[in-house]
Amino acid sequence: MIDHLGFPVSDYARAKAFYTAALAPLGYSLIMEVMQEDRPGESAAGFGANGKPDFWIGGEGALNKPVHVAIAAKDRATVDAFYKAALAAGGRDNGAPGIRAHYHPDYYGAFVLDPDGHNIEAVCHTPE
């Protein structure tokens, strides 16, 4: 199951305003804005419903590659297994398994670039 997806935009402020208005009739609103730890000054905006952002936009390069897809994992061991299998299959490391507390305290994810350079993530939101 897809947990969330995201893509870069050419004008972050313009895109954020557009999606804030366009998604409102669908029950989506801006849930979270985060600064990228490894690229100071770049923001990403997460839109969603019921408190969970699952549609993300980011400024130039903010989401690493043209496409970012996160797949929900049932537990942290599954995230670890995804990472190991993806690297063995030819993927490139884009973030080893671990907590990403800047999203929330239990956010455990791993990131791999696929053969085309897309950022593929496995994520678990539950405590250990």
- Per-residue pLDDT tens digits for 67-85: 788 989 999 999 999 999 9
Residue 48 has pLDDT above 60, yes or no: yes
Q: Answer yes or no: CATH 3.10.180.10 is held by domain 1-60.
A: yes
Q: What is the pTM of this model?
A: 0.73
Q: How far apart are CA 12 and CA 33, in angstroms?
A: 11
Residue 56 has pLDDT above 50, yes or no: yes
| Span 64-128 CATH architecture | Roll (3.10)
Q: Nearest 5°: phi and psi at 36? A: -75, 125
Written as one string, the DSSP assignment of 45-70 is EEEEETTEEEEEEESTTTTSSS-EEE
Contact predicate 30/57, CB 8 Å: no
Range(s) of the chain covered by CATH 3.10.180.10: 1-60, 64-128
pLDDT per residue as tens digits for the range 7-20: 888 788 888 998 99
Q: Which of 32, 29, 59 is nearest to 43 (CA)?
A: 59
74 versus 37: which is more confidently predicted?
A: 74
